[in-house]
Structure 1
Amino acid sequence: MVKPIIVKRLIFFFLLGCFLAPFIASAQQVDVKAQADTDRIRLGEQVKLHLSASMPPQGMNVVFPQIPDSFGHFEVVRRSPLDTTAQGNTKLLGQTIVLTSFDSGRWDIPALRFDLVSGGSITDSAFTGPLSIDVNTVDVDTTKAFKPIKGVRTVGWSFWDYWLYFAIGITVALVGVGLFVYFRSRPKKAAPVPVAVVVPPYEIALQQLQQLKSEKVWQQGDIKQYYTRLTDILRTYFEQQFNIPALEQTSEELLQHIKPVTILNQQRDKLRGLLSLADLAKFAKMTPSPEEHEGAMQHAQEIVEWTKPAAEKAAVAEAGKEEIKQPAK
């Protein structure tokens, strides 16, 4: 009865050994280490923890331990990327983790687990040995007296500490002065001069004759003033339109000077009769009839109206002369 049980156990251990043999062999092929560059630091100092793994170049991968940012009495300052090198038939993996501690005492870094991966799954794990780090405080000699607190020290002024501010200030000042000078010296735009509307002389004469007619001067008994204003309107018109010095001439002199002006000379008879009647009324104190008063006004208006086209032609000709005088641009 005992022999069958022993045989069964032997068979079981044999099969178990055959099953675990590959994993044991793979674990033996991987060598993992955790080493610290020192086992003694002071508060706040740093210690470098070097993790390494050596393994065959093919067949499996190693997953390094995931160390949290803070564990135990240590804090992780920084981590280096995983470094891979080849040494003969062995692949070496390495990583450096910088640690620090602010608690005094002797603290242990626990064993770290490296997972062995083959065929996309974890087949085994390898562990490093634990490490101990002494974290010491700063030694203080209590036998000596305390030194007084040093006062605040002032740093000497240096131009180069503020050169950028000086450069910006000078640049802004120069730009401001330049804009001020530019706007002060910039020529001001001259205000446009309003163009006066030029009224032709014949229109002025017709307006003055119409105004004289509406004032009814001769109806009020002032015959001399009526004929004086009537002839002055015509004489002023002749001077402005035909450049005849009519205001300084007698009636006969005026009739002589209108001969070169053909269109005005065509009204010579009307003008002669008007001037003769006006001279009699002003100087001989003759009193013309109402029909003669109205006829004199009508003749004056007809003379101006008759010479109106000539005035327009003269204006057009004068404008053409001004264009010829102007230099070509």
Structure 2
Amino acid sequence: MYKQQVIKRIFLWCILGLLSPFSLLAQQAVDVTAKADTNSIRIGEQIKLQLTATLTAQQFKDANFKVLFPVLPDSLAHFEVVTRSSLDTSINQDQHILHQTFTLTSFDSGHWEIPPMRFEVFTGANAAPDSAVTLPIGVDVNTVAVDTTKAFKPIKAVQTVPWSIWDYWLYLAIGAAAVLIIGGLIWYFKSRPKKEPVIKVPTVTPYEIAIADLKALKEEKVWQQGDIKQYYTRLTDILRTYFEHQFGIAALEQTSEELLQNIKPVTKLNQQRDKLRSLLSIADLAKFAKLQPTADEHEGCMQKAEEILEWTKPKAGPAEETGSDATLEKA
């Protein structure tokens, strides 16, 4: 008797062990379906195909549980995919339903089947994917019925539609508005008073600015503090700015040789050509070749700059200003 009970228990445990995988599979099973809104269309008409996958709440919340919908190509057997919607989710009680809708059409008459759709089911992070397959769907694609007993009707001629001005009222209104706007703009620009240009008379002349800058450079004692490059950069920039504002020469944008060439038409400035060449040569060597000029050369360059300014400064009388303007016009 005891042996029979042991044998029965062993038998029951074996049955439970065999059934446990199926119970786990049942827990992980996903219900997938493919439905069409009709099973009969005419050539060129469209059919809605909806794919759904039903998950339990436990499966939906499981981060490792995933269902991949089939990817339909643009063309199936005898069917063409017109549109495809995005994947959407709806909740029905404790079930989560994933669904996607495809719009299909066919231009081949006959009875055709939409092939089975394969879903990939992942039950774990490292688990191999399982497959869930839907049933095929039969669809009849019918031709347009033609009554062959009736005679063919002749092709109708092209008919002329009667012309009406009201068919073009919008274009006429736009054209009239454009003409009025253009005419108004022309009248406005012709009749508005012209503004006289405001001539600004400088209160400080370029010569006075240059003299003040040279004085400030001397007082700061830049080269005495060892900053040779800054001393010559500021010295030459003062002269170049003066030439640009006083004589209209783009001196700040030119090299030393270009500047010496462009001062030739300005008589007063060209008379100081040798002094300017000497000053620019020492300045270029100090700025770019790291030459260390002597103290006498520093003072000499400052003196040359002051002499150039003094020689070329504009005279105060009206007659002298007219002569100076004539010189610039010749330049």
- The alignment's TM-score, normalised by the length of structure 2, stands at 0.46
- The alignment's TM-score, normalised by the length of structure 1, stands at 0.47
Structure number with larger C-alpha Rg: 1
